Structure 1
Amino acid sequence: MKKVDPFVIVIGYDGSKQSHEALEWAIEESRYRNAELRVLTIWNKAPMAWYPAMLETAAGEIVAESSPEQQAEALSAKAAQAAAGVNVVTRTIKNDSAASAIIEAAREADLVIVGSRGHGGFAGLHIGSVSAQLANHAPCPVLVVRPKTA
């Protein structure tokens, strides 16, 4: 029996250098497989925990910093722009755990692609906590993209 649904690739994108490299890989993989690319950007700041910083621009205007949700939506738009030419769907998701949000989305995926690290605080680690959780718990294959070496 043939599978008639398109191949689905899920990628977690947080704007970090590693997630951008993973996005580039996912775009190429989507082209190769004629797949649907689902880009997830997860934000998790509670509304009352975020207070906008007031910033002064070079022109002397006072502006408020974007909310975490607005920042996530901007990242999604950037990812969609980078993935022009492939079948891309972007989603911003409010969830306390990026790993659990991606694992949930992976239930409908054939492949998950993530960078080896995100914006987490332990820069010396070779793999971040989200990547490790996905590698251990995702219901489909996971590709962890490591940084390119010179």
Structure 2
Amino acid sequence: MRREAAGMAEAGRIVVGVDGSVPSLKALRWAVRQAGLSGDTVEAVMSWEYPAAGWASMVPSMPTDFDPEKLAAQILDDALEQTLGEDGAAAITRTVRIGNAAQALMDRAGGASLLVVGDRGYSGFEATMLGSVGLHVTQHAPCPVVVVRGEAGTD
């Protein structure tokens, strides 16, 4: 039931973590379907951070035009278009943040109606364990959280 039909308050915002992994793309599809039911908008969030100290010594030389934020934005755009198609992707708000993924999601979830993340994507016994980002947001998010689980080939 749409919020307008039920006489409820204005539509809200669903925040979804997208890193290009299969579990995050499943979470994105789930969030878009939920938004279709609730009338909410969808905001896809991708976070990036530099690897721990010492990584630069492993790379012979960084190109002078290397822009990790631009690269992250392109990865997010590609993931949205490949998953939702061009028209579906156009309806999604995009946010790229530097820093820890769990913190970026927590920051964006303030005022949101829902936060959606994928699980770790492991199989077998490890499937019972939640990834560190999912674990953190389920314990500390300022709004309800959905962790999308399941086999890689199913929705």
More strand by share: 1
Structure 2: unaligned runs, 5 residues or longer: 1-6
Distance 1:10 1:77 in 2: 16
Q: 1:132 to 1:2 in 2, by over 3 A?
A: same
Q: Give runs of ≥4 in structure 1 deviating > 4 Å.
A: 48-54
The equivalent residue for 1:42 is 47
CA contact (8 A) 2:18 2:46 kept: yes
Q: Deviations over 1:18-62 (max 9, x none)?
A: 10111111111111222110000001117x9558969xxxxxxxx
CA contact (8 A) 1:135 1:142 kept: yes
More helix by share: 2
Q: Provide the secondary structure at the position in 2 that maps to 1:75.
A: helix
Structure 1: unaligned runs, 5 residues or longer: 55-62
1:28-107 alignment to 2 at 5 Å? 28-45=33-50, 67-81=67-81, 82-83=83-84, 84-85=87-88, 87-95=91-99, 97-107=100-110
The equivalent residue for 1:10 is 15
Distance 1:26 1:89 in 2: 13
Counterpart amino acid of residue 76 in structure 2: S
Counterpart amino acid of residue 14 in structure 2: I
CA contact (8 A) 2:118 2:134 kept: yes
Q: Provide the secondary structure at the position in 2 that maps to 1:124.
A: helix
* TM superposition score normalised by structure 1: 0.74
Q: 1:142 to 1:127 in 2, by over 3 A?
A: same
RMSD: 3.1
Distance 1:74 1:129 in 2: 25
How many residues align structurally?
A: 135
* TM superposition score normalised by structure 2: 0.72
